[in-house]
Amino acid sequence: MQISAFIPHAFLAAVPAAMLADGSPWLIVPAIPLVFVALDAACGKATGSDAPAGGGRLAHLPLWLFVPAQIALIAWCVTRCPYLTAFDAVGLGAACGIVLGIFGMLAAHELIHSRHRIERWLGAAALATLFYAHFRRAHIQGHHRHAGTTEDPTLTRRDESGYRFALRSAARQFDFAIRIGGRIAAREVAAYLAGAAAMLSIAALAGGWHAVLCWLVMAMVAIFILELFNYVVHYGLARRVRDGAIEPFGRVHAWNVGHRFSNWALLNGGRHSDHHRAPLEPYPRLRHDAAAPTLPHGFGVIMCLALVPPLWRRVMNPRADYWMARD
């Protein structure tokens, strides 16, 4: 078990700690990416000596613990909201949405890839608390099967902004989950909608409309960050047709990150090419691939860069063109 896998818990705990210290939730919003950027700079980049850590039976313990912690954070927000203005309730939702979008969605992503049914259920439960449970089916059966092709519900397009991508990807993933799942998916969606209505009704009873507003903002921000992650790790890297067939997915079809802190905090999410090579491989065993396309900055900088489309295109288009031109 990697101690670094508890980094997400520290960020999660920082939000209520800051609020209980009479901090404004709106100050937490910029603080989270700034801390991330600073720690990326301080910890440096991986080298060839940064070998996989291995994955024992307790490798997923931090993820198991993160799910109830996520639920507890949401419950705390609901009970806190009656004492906040609508403006601060939105700020609290945004702050928690950033934390859960960065860390909670990645923890859920790792769990839904597990070979163990209970862990897959835990991942689905974490996604359901953010009203995005259908991601499990769309990601496993859609993205991993068709990544980099027009069949991929999360296919990125060159010159497309992260905002437009997030809207299109969210809609396509919902549609894909319905189509691929048939009657089972229809029942699942009905259950998701009933569960969402029940959770928001409880929030309304416990914390009033401020709590409902906070939870909805939290979910929207978390979903946007998840989709922005999909955007940055596949931007402009499509699989091409060769000899009448689509080329196999390879290391050149995903952007990787070499910064140590990004990978410690995001469960080796920066080793994305290796994740696609072996989707069932536990995150501690994913390998740093120095020959794969690498983003010029850690996730702290690169996610912020994606929020400014002209700057993003200026930085990333030449890099994407370079890798797409290679044989």
Domain boundaries, the chain: 3-325
Q: What is the mean pLDDT of residues 87-100?
A: 97
Quote the pLDDT of residue 288.
Answer: 84
Instruction: Identify residue 169 by its one-letter amino acid code.
Output: S
Query: What's this model's pTM, rounded to 2 decimal places?
Result: 0.94
Cβ pair 255, 234 in contact under 8 A: yes
Each residue's pLDDT tens digit, 243-289: 778 888 888 999 999 899 999 999 999 999 999 999 989 898 898 88
Looking at residue 296, the DSSP 8-state letter turns out to be: S
How would DSSP label each residue in 125-174? HHHHTTT-TTHHHIIIIIIHHHTTSTT-TT---TT--HHHHHHHHHHHHH
Q: Is the per-residue pLDDT at 51 higher than 60?
A: no
Quote the pLDDT of residue 188.
Answer: 79
Q: What is the number of other CB atoms lying within 10 angstroms of the CB of residue 66?
A: 27
Quote the pLDDT of residue 209.
Answer: 96
Quote the pLDDT of residue 193.
Answer: 86
157 token code pair: 């397009």
Quote the pLDDT of residue 41.
Answer: 92
Instruction: State the Cα–Cα distance between residues 73 and 179, nearest whole angstrom.
Output: 34
With a pLDDT cut of 90, the percent of the chain lying above it is: 68
pLDDT level of residue 56 (50, 70, 90 thresholds)? low
Each residue's pLDDT tens digit, 167-225: 999 999 988 888 876 666 678 778 888 999 999 999 999 999 999 999 999 999 999 99
pLDDT level of residue 52 (50, 70, 90 thresholds)? low
Q: Is the per-residue pLDDT at 293 higher than 50?
A: yes
Quote the pLDDT of residue 48.
Answer: 54
Going by C-alpha positions, the residue among 280, 273, 166, 178 that lies closest to residue 230 is 166
pLDDT level of residue 321 (50, 70, 90 thresholds)? very high
Q: CA-based angle 23:25:26, to the nearest 5?
A: 110
Q: Is the dihedral angle over the CA atoms 182, 185, 189, 190 positive or is it negative?
A: positive
Instruction: State the Cα–Cα distance between residues 289 and 41, nearest whole angstrom.
Output: 20
Q: What is the mean pLDDT of residues 51-63?
A: 70
Q: Which residues, in sequence order, are CB contacts of 129 under 8 Å at separation 6+?
A: 70, 71, 74, 199
Going by C-alpha positions, the residue among 254, 239, 259, 251 that lies closest to residue 302 is 259
Quote the pLDDT of residue 49.
Answer: 45
Quote the pLDDT of residue 178.
Answer: 83
Q: Is the per-residue pLDDT at 12 higher than 70?
A: yes
Quote the pLDDT of residue 59.
Answer: 75
On average, the pLDDT of the chain sits at 90
Q: Which residues, in sequence order, are CB contacts of 28 under 8 Å at separation 6+?
A: 14, 15, 18, 19, 91, 95
215 token code pair: 């939870």
